[in-house]
Each structure stands twice: as C-alpha cells, then as structure tokens.
Amino acid sequence: MKLSPRLLIVTAAALCTALLLAPDHGWGQTPTDEKAERDRATAAAKAQNNAQAFEANARTLTVFDRQGKTVATVGPRAIYNTPVFSPDHKRLAVSKTDLDKENSDLWVFDVATGKAIQLTSSQSRESTNAPAWSPDGGHVAYVALRGGNFGIYQKASDGRGDEELLYKLPGTGTITDWSMDGKYLNFFSTDLSGGTLYALPLDAAGERKPIEVYKSPKQIQGGRFSPNDRFVAYFSNESGRNEVYVRPFDPSAGPGGPATRQWQISDQGTAGMAFWRRDGKELYYLGADRGIMSVSVSTAPAFEAGKPKVVFRPSEEIAISPGTASISRDGERFVIAVPPPRLRQLTILDRQGKVVKTVGEPGVYGQPGLSPDGTRIAATRTDPKTGNLDIWTWDIATGKGYAVTDSVWPDFSPVWSPDGKQIAFVSTREQYSGIYRKAWDGTGEEELLFRYTPGAGIGFSDWSPDGKFLTFSTGVLLMVPLSDNEKPLDRKAIEWMREEYDVFGGRFSPDMRYLAYASDEINSQSTDVYIRPFDASKPEAPGAGPVVRVTRDGARGFTWRRQDGKELYVLTRDWEIAAVDITTTPTLQAGSPKVLFKLPGPLVASSPEGVSRDGQRFVFAMPVTTTTASR
Amino acid sequence: MITRLIALGTILFVFSAWPHHNMSATFDLNNRVTLTGTLTKFDWRNPHIELFVEAKGDKDQTETWSVEGPPPVFFRDRDVSKSDIEAGLGKTITVEASRARDGSRWGLLRTLTLPNGKLVSACPQNC
C-alpha cells in the first residue's frame, strides 16, 4: 500500500497521539494517575467531538426576500435555533448552542451590521430557547431551564437588567408568540399523549395562571395570535397529518372557550410554522413540500381564508424546519438558519480512496451499503420535496434507481439479506419501530419481521449470514431469532449484552463464530470496537472465550463484511478508513489498524455494509463539491 | 451528551443511543412527586438505571417506588459512579420524579440527592 506524505503525517500523528493517550499500566502508576489520564483522554475526545459536531451542524442566519433571493447573512456560523425577527424586523433573537458548556443562550443580532449581544447567561447544562418579542420590541420572552425547572422568563431586549420569571412551568413548554396588545404569551405543551395551547395573561394580578386555549388528544404546536387577538393559528396532526388551523381566541370564555369551530388553512399538509402578517390579511406557513406558503385571510367581521399559494421554495440544498426559520411581521423577510450543504453523491472508492465511480444523481443520501455481490447500492434517500425518508437501491453499472419504500413513515438502516435479494430496514410508524423486509427492487409486499416496545427506537445493524438472526441496539445489544414458525408480533428480542456502558452496532463475523460491536466502556466520549464469541445456540449472552479489543484510539464505525473474515474495516475518529487483520485460529486476534485512506470530513457513513466482500471497494455518500473536485 | 443528541438529529452518527421507550408517553412530565426515603436496591445498567426507594406515603404507610433514570454514562459524565450509588444503599436519598401515567409507584427521575448531599439533575433529558 502506498501512502501519501499527508497520510503518513496523519498516521504518524495518530500513532504519537495513541502513544500519548494509551493507558500505561507499568510500574509507578497510581490509581490517581490512571484516573487523571482517563480524564484527559475523555476531555480530548469530547473536544474533538464538539469540534466535529460544530462543523457538521453550524448554521448561517440567512435572510430571504419574497422571491427567495438572499438579502443578508447575519453574524458568524453557529448552532442556531428558533430565529425570530423583532417587530420592526431590524433585529433577530435566536438561541445559540454552546457545545463545550452544554448549554444554549439567546442572542440578539442587528440584521444590518451583524453585531450581537448575548441576552441570557445559562449555566452549564441549562438551556434558553423559544424567543418571542414584545409588540414594542423592548422585551424578549423565552423558555429557560434554570435549576432543574423550566420557566417562562422575560428580559429587556438590549440585555440590561435581570431576567424576570413570569411563570414556572409544571413540565415543559414552548413559547411561540406575544399578543399584539401585549397582554398574553402563547405557549404550547405537546407529546404523544396529546397537546395543549395556552395563553399566559401578563397583566393579571397575583400569581399568573395560564388559560387553556385548546386541548387535543393529538399533537398541537406553534400557536400564534391574530393581530386583533381574536383568533389563534396553530398546526396539529389531528387529521392524520400536520395541517394549519385557525380557531377563535376568547380568554373570557373559560377553558377551551366557546370555539367549537376551526378552519383548516393548509390543504396539502404543513411542516410547521404559522405566522400572521401585521395587518392580519395574510397567513404564512411551511408547506409539507418545503415551500413557504401564504394564504389571504380576513379576521373581521368573520374569519375567512383563501387558497394557499407558494411564496417561494428554498433550494433543495437547504434543509428547513419550523425550528430554524421564521417570517417577519410585514411578510417581506424570511430568515432560515441554513445548515451545511446536504447534497451528496453516492461514490465508489478503491482501497486507496480514489473515486472509481459515481452512481445516480446527487441527492440527500445516507447509510449506503453494497450488496453481497457488489453490483448494487442500498441507501436512505430523503425526498427533497416531501422530506420523506425512504430506502432506495441503485444498480451500479447503469445507475438506475429503485424505490424500495415510498411512504410517509421514516424508513432507514437498510441491510442487505445474505442472498442479496431483499433489504431489511427499520420503519417507525406512529409509536412503533419495526424491522421490515422487501425485495431489493421494491416489487411485492413488505413483510414485518419484528416489532419493538412502543416508543422505543431501534439501532439495526446486521442480519446474520445464515439469515436466522437480526441484531440491533438500544445501548443494550439485542438479538432477534427469525424462526419460521413464529409470527412477527410474537418474536422477542433477547438481550445479548447489557452492561453499565453502551454497546452498539453488532456485526456478525462471516462464519458467525464471533460478533464485533462498539462500546464506550473505557471512555464515555469515544467508542472502541471489540469482538466476542457468538454462539447461535445460546443467543442470550456472548459465547465462552475472551473479549478482544480491536481499536484503542476510538472508532466512529466499522464493518466486518469481507467474505473470508480476515479484515475488519474501521472508520477512525479522524475520518480515516483503516483495515485491521483478524485471525481466528488458533485463537482470536486482531492486528493494529492500518490506514487505507482519509475521507474529506464528517460523512453519513453509517452503513453496516459499505464495503465489498473482497475488501476492494467502499461506498460513501460524498459531499457533491468534494466528489466533483475529485473527478 | 448534547453533542450526541445533535449528532443523532442531523448526521445519523455511526453509533447512536436510543431511548428504550417513549418517556412522555409513559410518564406525565407535568405530574411530579418528591420522595425522601431509603435506597433499598438499584440496577445500574443500560438502557437506563433503576432506583428502588422506600418512602412514607400520605397515610404514613411505607411505599416502595421504582424510579427510572438516564443510562449510566449520563452519570459517568457527571462524575457519579456506581460505587457512589452503592454507598447510598440503606441510606436516605431524595428523588424528584415525573409520575407514570398508569398511576403506579413508578417515576422518571428528574433530580437525585445522594446521602452526601450531591445533587444530580437529569434535566433537560428527563424534563
């Protein structure tokens, strides 16, 4: 293998780092020394995690006009959420996350100059978010976690003075609006058990008590008052999908009010947000297809609404969600906290990291994996218009794509069947996550293989080479035996490994005598790869024999797909692909990781099957610009 | 932990933790109980820890509560180890928890005060 000078430097640096960080159990080291060393390694891993998480998630506050043209970017890149224009749209209040302190605070930016003031000062592991401006722009209300309790607070928007607790929330809540007359804050609380819209009176004497505006067994979010405070707009999934609704608001009518009537505003679903224009003549929301939508409305004497129209649709490169976008009161400016580009190109690399082939069109892809015969790719694909997450496959030779799934439910974690004819995947449908299988080309009906506990997620990682076990993790590593005589809903997950630390990503060895997995046993901020014996006749625990630690400097992922089982491939913490020699006779042993090539940076590379059976080809969803530059 | 959550939400990290069940569907986050009593037993394993507390009820009767908390790694990141909990066995602790929606003596941990006075908050994850 020929390494470039850069790779040699990286490898040498990694080795030096490894030597510096590797635990030394030699003479003279006390338990205190060991703890200090562990703490240093944990701190170093956390700093690296934070730096990479920042690069992958930092957003740019970008202001658009009604034509979708960028008119300004505001402030530096950061991890922003819930940007909200001041009433005169000259300032933006936004929540900013500090990864090192593990907290978030509100900042107020001047849109024209980008200058900012930090409005709040959270302690470590506290949070501040969901800002709402007072009608005169003099104050900002927000939800903050302080001393273990969430509360609704306000503070002067110039940062002066102390924050004032307006209401101690019994649980959680999210503020979305401050009424135009200044008398109410609108907030909601919603979860799988239902949702409630509240109005918090600000001018009431004594202890403030929220008014229940609307309660539903379905989820309700994002309530906002009409400018004349007679109506409230919100979105809810009560029809089976999220739609925008309007209902009367009458705080004197008691809980729920007399408002039995509501109007549906959106007609093709919504991804959230419902904003009124200051004159009450237009409502805006985010369409299910990511379009910024507007609807002509009137609120006096009675409520009337027209047909939704598209204002503009952000480019497919821009991920947009209700928590990262909002609209100015005059309806002329739209702010989106724009994340890093998300378009990817499915790309086949050789063992030196050279691009061998690109497959299909650029898109929003993840978790790519190669079929056992190396002729096809399976990956997740996010539809740029609907946002639906589905499983697709591609023929590498022709580039032709096949939709294996096409549903509103999120489908992910594709794993090829041992014979390459089917794809197993996870689908989350309402409160249940299950593992399903379907033909690789999307034909025929899907089949449920296993359904898990309500509300529980599934980290599906492998299908055994004999086809008789699925393995997934929840921090615990579990096995699902696939016996023919059992109905899917009767199948139970068996705990293979349940410890004080996380165990993830089980991968069977090709001969099924071993299972490799990742764990944070040593360092809570970094995972390493281990191998233990697997006994198919006793799937309730690892088989007899020693555990072998494969990596010592951390790993982001790994796969054990080479047909002969003699190499295991590791994605290092520095985004390198390294090969590890594995021998199983006479005893199980793992060699030192040897770097094959380095990836350009954080990638969605989480497929358990991203390497060919001969270990010569790797598939990744590469950033489009990088791919283009490499060609 | 916050890094893990951000990573989970946006780039589908290779290794990722998953909740074992939906917290807000199982527990009412708006209905809290504070228990001061004896730590009689605990389970310190993934996907979440479990504390068993004997406390006095409304009518002075002894009640045994089970309180579910975050995974052990959450406490490890806050410098609380299994041995710290072991040292609390048979001693008085205080837990604030969100009550189970089924009305049973089962809760979701919000805060834990150990016998030595150390306070651990499980927020914002469990709030």
Give residue A369's pLDDT band: very low, low, confident or very high (50, 70, 90): very high
In Å, how far is A277's CA from the nearest CA of chain B?
31
User: Would you say residue A617 lies in a domain?
Assistant: yes
In Å, how far is B11's CA from the nearest CA of chain A?
6
Domain, as residue range, for A295: 60-338
User: Would you say residue B2 lies in a domain?
Assistant: no
Q: Are A196 and A113 part of one and the same domain?
A: yes
Number of domains chain B is built from: 1
User: Would you say residue B5 lies in a domain?
Assistant: no
User: Would you say residue B6 lies in a domain?
Assistant: no
CB A456 to CB B22 under 8 A? yes
CB A476 to CB B47 under 8 A? yes
What residues contact A313, with CB distance under 8 A and at least 6 apart? Answer: A68, A289, A290, A291, A292
User: Would you say residue A52 lies in a domain?
Assistant: no
Give residue A3's pLDDT band: very low, low, confident or very high (50, 70, 90): very low
CB A57 to CB B6 under 8 A? yes
Q: Are A300 and A395 part of one and the same domain?
A: no
User: Which has the higher per-residue pLDDT, A48 or A293?
Assistant: A293
A125, A127, A501 ranked by CB distance to B73: nearest = A501
Query: Could you identify the residue written with the tokens 């500090």?
Result: A98
CATH of the domain at B76: 2.40.50.140
Q: Provide, as residue numbers in chain B, all residues whose Cβ is less than 8 Å from the Cβ of A79.
A: 6
Give residue B23's pLDDT band: very low, low, confident or very high (50, 70, 90): confident
Q: Where is average pLDDT lowest: A49-63, A171-185, A240-254, A267-281? A: A240-254
Q: Enumerate residues 72 to 111 of chain B having a beta carbon within 8 A of any beta carbon in chain A.
A: 72-73, 76-77, 82, 96, 98, 101, 110-111
Residue A130 in contact with residue A120, Cβ under 8 Å? no
pTM, full prediction:
0.84
Q: Are A291 and A358 part of one and the same domain?
A: no
User: Would you say residue A449 lies in a domain?
Assistant: yes
Counting one residue from A and one from B, how many pairs have CB atoms under 8 Å apart? 146
pLDDT tens digits, A610-624: 899 999 999 999 988
Give residue A22's pLDDT band: very low, low, confident or very high (50, 70, 90): very low
pLDDT tens digits, A182-217: 999 999 988 767 889 999 999 877 889 999 999 998
Q: Which residue of A has its CA nearest to B111?
A: A148
pLDDT recorded at residue B25: 74
DSSP string, A5-22: HHHHHHHHHHHHHHHHHS
User: Would you say residue A47 lies in a domain?
Assistant: no
Q: Provide, as residue numbers in chain B, all residues whose Cβ is less than 8 Å from the Cβ of A520.
A: 73
pLDDT tens digits, A529-548: 999 999 999 999 999 999 99
Query: Could you identify the residue written with the tokens 């590890």?
Result: A580
pLDDT recorded at residue A203: 87
Is the minimum CB–CB distance between B47 and chain A shorter than 8 Å?
Answer: yes
Angle A593-A594-A600 from CA coordinates, rounded to 5° = 105
Amino acid sitting at position A11: T
User: Would you say residue B10 lies in a domain?
Assistant: no
Region A268-290 average pLDDT: 92
CB A501 to CB B3 under 8 A? no
From A322, A338, A354, give the residue that closes a domain.
A338
Give residue A604's pLDDT band: very low, low, confident or very high (50, 70, 90): low
CB A504 to CB B16 under 8 A? yes
pLDDT tens digits, A436-469: 999 999 999 999 999 998 888 899 999 999 999 9
Q: Which residue of B has its CA nearest to A127?
A: B124
For A572-627, strand residue ranges (E) read 576-583, 589-590, 594-598, 618-623
Q: Which residue of B has its CA nearest to A602?
A: B11
Give residue B21's pLDDT band: very low, low, confident or very high (50, 70, 90): low
CB B20 to CB A189 under 8 A? no
**Is pLDDT at B35 greater than 80 in this prediction?**
yes
**Is pLDDT at A84 greater than 90 in this prediction?**
yes
CB A498 to CB B1 under 8 A? no
pLDDT recorded at residue A625: 63
Which of B11, B48, B94 is the best substitution to test chain A (most A C-beta atoms within 10 A)?
A: B11
User: Would you say residue A476 lies in a domain?
Assistant: yes
Neighbours of B76 (CB within 10 A): 18
Q: Provide, as residue numbers in chain B, all residues whose Cβ is less than 8 Å from the Cβ of A475.
A: 17-18, 20, 46-47, 71
Q: Provide, as residue numbers in chain B, all residues whose Cβ is less than 8 Å from the Cβ of A339.
A: 10
CB B76 to CB A412 under 8 A? no
Pairing of strands B50-56, A220-225: unpaired
Region B73-86 average pLDDT: 92
pLDDT recorded at residue A19: 31
What stretches of A184-337 show up as alpha helix (H) in DSSP? none
Is the minimum CB–CB distance between B26 and chain A shorter than 8 Å?
Answer: yes
CB B25 to CB A366 under 8 A? no
Domain, as residue range, for B65: 20-121
Q: A601 — phi, psi (to 5°)? A: 155, -170
Is the minimum CB–CB distance between B8 and chain A shorter than 8 Å?
Answer: no
From A288, A323, A338, give the residue that closes a domain.
A338
Q: What rounded mean pLDDT belongs to chain B?
A: 83
From A338, A360, A375, give the residue that closes a domain.
A338
User: Would you say residue B60 lies in a domain?
Assistant: yes
Residue A526 in contact with residue A480, Cβ under 8 Å? no
Q: Are A271 and A360 part of one and the same domain?
A: no
User: Would you say residue A247 lies in a domain?
Assistant: yes
pLDDT recorded at residue B6: 33
CB A171 to CB B98 under 8 A? yes
Rounded distance, CA A375 to CA A197, Å? 53
Q: How high is the ipTM of this complex?
A: 0.82
CB B11 to CB A57 under 8 A? yes
Is the minimum CB–CB distance between B125 and chain A shorter than 8 Å?
Answer: no
Q: Are A282 and A363 part of one and the same domain?
A: no
Q: Which residue of B has its CA nearest to A610?
A: B14
User: Would you say residue A592 lies in a domain?
Assistant: yes
Give residue B17's pLDDT band: very low, low, confident or very high (50, 70, 90): very low
pLDDT recorded at residue A563: 86
Rounded distance, CA B5 to CA A7, Å? 31
Number of domains chain A is built from: 2
Query: Which residues lie across from B27 on neighbouring strands?
Result: B100
CB B20 to CB A453 under 8 A? yes
Q: Are A518 and A540 part of one and the same domain?
A: yes
Through-space distance between the first and last CA atoms of chain B, rounded to whole angstroms: 15
Residue B47 in contact with residue A475, Cβ under 8 Å? yes
B29, B44, B123 ranked by CB distance to A500: nearest = B44
A46, A170, A193 ranked by CB distance to B24: nearest = A193
Q: Provide, as residue numbers in chain B, all residues whose Cβ is less than 8 Å from the Cβ of A193.
A: 24-25, 28, 101
CATH of the domain at A215: 2.120.10.30
Region B13-41 average pLDDT: 75
User: Would you say residue B15 lies in a domain?
Assistant: no
What residues contact B60, with CB distance under 8 A and at least 6 apart? Answer: none
User: Would you say residue B13 lies in a domain?
Assistant: no
Pairing of strands B106-113, B62-68: parallel
User: Would you say residue B107 lies in a domain?
Assistant: yes
A192, A458, A556 ranked by CB distance to B18: nearest = A458
Q: Please compute, for residue A481, the number of CA atoms within 13 A of its CA located in the half-sphere on the CB side.
A: 15
